[in-house]
Structure 1
Amino acid sequence: MFVRIVKLSFKPTKVDDFITIFETNKTYIRNFEGCMFLELYRDKTHSNIFFTYSYWSDEAALNTYRHSNLFTSVWTETKQLFNNKPEAWSVDKLVSLP
């Protein structure tokens, strides 16, 4: 399993716009071939900072998504709302809870 964590920081006035974009597209992303899991988290201290956690069957599946029309559309809308450069990590899941 390939896990991707992305930190997104938005202009405070654009948070609702981002949530709308995410809500509109989350089902499409979750149903994209190779996507096994997608959740959105919000920082408890800074309400304009979010994290996406997604699980992919492998790195190739994530890369296929990242080169898709869906990603291009979502990212084009989302990147206009940032107040800081996004950060991303690719990690291996070592322990799962039962």
Structure 2
Amino acid sequence: MFIRIVKMSFHEEHIPKFLENFDVMKEKIRGAEGNRFLELYQDKNNPCIFFTYSFWETEADLENYRQSELFYDVWTFTKKLFNEKPEAWSVDKVVSLP
């Protein structure tokens, strides 16, 4: 299992549209094959910056999601709202404290 972190920055006026669409799509994303966890965070200092944090069973699961119609729909809508290029990281958990 690995973690995918995506940083997205939006035009302030588009934040409500993004949040509304995320609310509609979040269960579908979470239900994608191999997805085990999904959260959305908003930066405390810059409310235009959001992060998704998701756990995936395998890199192939993430890639299958990224090639799916669901991802196409989500990304086609979302990318029109950005004010900066998104950034993404795939990371392995090294230490976790209960």
TM superposition score normalised by structure 1: 0.97
Aligned to 1:3: 3
TM-superposed deviation, 1:2: 1.4
Aligned to 1:94: 94
Report the RMSD for the aligned CA atoms in angstroms. Answer: 0.7
**Is 1:53 equivalent to 2:63 in the alignment?**
no
TM-superposed deviation, 1:19: 0.4
Aligned to 2:38: 38
TM superposition score normalised by structure 2: 0.97
Pairs aligned (count): 98
User: Any stretches of 5+ residues in structure 1 without a counterpart?
Assistant: none
1: CA distance, partners of 2:36 / 2:79:
24
TM-superposed deviation, 1:94: 1.2
Partner SS, residue 85 of structure 1: coil
| Structure 1 runs, 4 residues or longer, greater than 4 Å off | none
Residues 39-63 of structure 1: per-residue CA shift (max 9 Å, x gap): 0000001001000000000100000
What fraction of aligned residue pairs are identical, expressed as a percent? 59
1: CA distance, partners of 2:56 / 2:76:
22
